[in-house]
Amino acid sequence: MTERTLIKDLSAREDGPVTVAGWVETVRDQKKVQFIVLRDESGAAQLVNPAVREVASGAEGTAADGTAADGTAADGTAEDAARQAAAVALTESITALSLGTFISVTGELKHDERVKLGGLEVKIGDLSVAAPSEPEAPIAADSSLDKRLDYRWLDLRQPKNALIFRVQTTLEHAWRTWWVENGFVEIHTPKLMESPSESRAELFQLDYFDLGTAYLAQSPQHFKQMAQAAGFGKVFEISPVFRADPSFTSRHATEFISVDAEMSWVDSHEDVMAMQEQLLAAGIAAVKEKHGDEIRELFGIEVEVPAIPFPRIPLAEVHTVLKESRGYTVPREDGDLDPEGERQISAYVKGEFGHDFVFVTDYPTNIRPYYHMRDAETGLTKSYDLIYNGTEITTGAQREHRIDELIANAKDKGLDPAGIGEYLEFFKYGVPPHGGFGMGLARVLMLLLGEQSIRETTLLFRGPTRLAP
């Protein structure tokens, strides 16, 4: 196989033979020269075919010094005729190219600062079509989001959209690196469950052979806690989860990637928050270092690495701040923050502390699950939500590890302990104090890049009305 050079690597090569391959982004078919803008996964470059119609027209392509337009002798020999025929074929094949066609080109690389696109171009010697494209594209730059999602593979050819997933790769790699360097174990938990995590709400059900009904996992929560009982100490997972939630907001999906971590021997949820803020700062710093310039160019924003520690405000104090400083009263009867409340507290924190993140802590038991530990003095849970640029991205907590307290909490929530018997089973044999969090990957990317919907930062979005492509 001919060695292919990525476009991003052309600038480091000396002038000479080169092979590039990608898809056709632009064709300019002029009288004396043809240009192709070729794009691959790394960038775009200009290809040129100067031996166009003059060579094809025979005498018209012969210069005063007796040479053809491509610089070869025009002596009317069979060899010259063959060259002219090849030039005709190349010219016609370029004219026939439709945008989006995948091609491979071998030619001569030449650095030329006059070329606006990268200061270089490739003179086409040979062009082969790997896969032609239909002449009319089904989407355009101004197509609606839903239409673009119908043809997501074409939408992702846009440099801005492709960058999202290179940023995602860098972010996940940085997180994994931080976890591994700090003694965490990566786990992969089942996505098929025999029983629901907490209740049957928001669960996808399916028939599972002779065992009856199975459920798609809403969260790896119970399995992360099982790893604490196994003595793993500190674990993490980046994996899909499923929510049968008929929500059409810009930040919800029926399938999404959840970023989860759990660790033993915590004293409170403060230990979990300290871990998460270090993790996020490391990930965002890696993104800024590797992609900061591209993000500035394509998204028009400056990546800000957050200072540690992040601000922390108890939920009760948040309500007071919103009312007194922002003139906003959260309308929810249960006291949980609504989306507008999240935006308002973020604006307050940005103004007061210059920070994009804020931990909202100490939630009452009525808006937290039974397995969140309750503070004996305050009666509040040792839990938090993390809000980033106006949107909640995380729920975290110290978990209740004492089985008698778990059962009492479950009953207080109106749950029958028999219904969570499988979960309670591993607490019978001892589980250390522990805590952790779950975080939505697409939400983090959306907020990091200033996008308006997780549909933009999800490779292939799944929602109540979308199962394809």
Q: How far apart are CA 38 and CA 117, in angstroms?
A: 11
Q: Which residue type is seen at 274?
A: A
Q: Could you check whether the bond before residue 196 is cis, i.e. omega within 30 degrees of 0?
A: no
Tokens of 12: 């480091």
> Which residue numbers belong to the known binding site?
198, 243, 392, 395, 399, 440-443
Residues at the annotated binding site for L-aspartate?
A: 198, 243, 395, 399
Could you list the residues known to form a binding site for ATP, using ranges: 392, 440-443
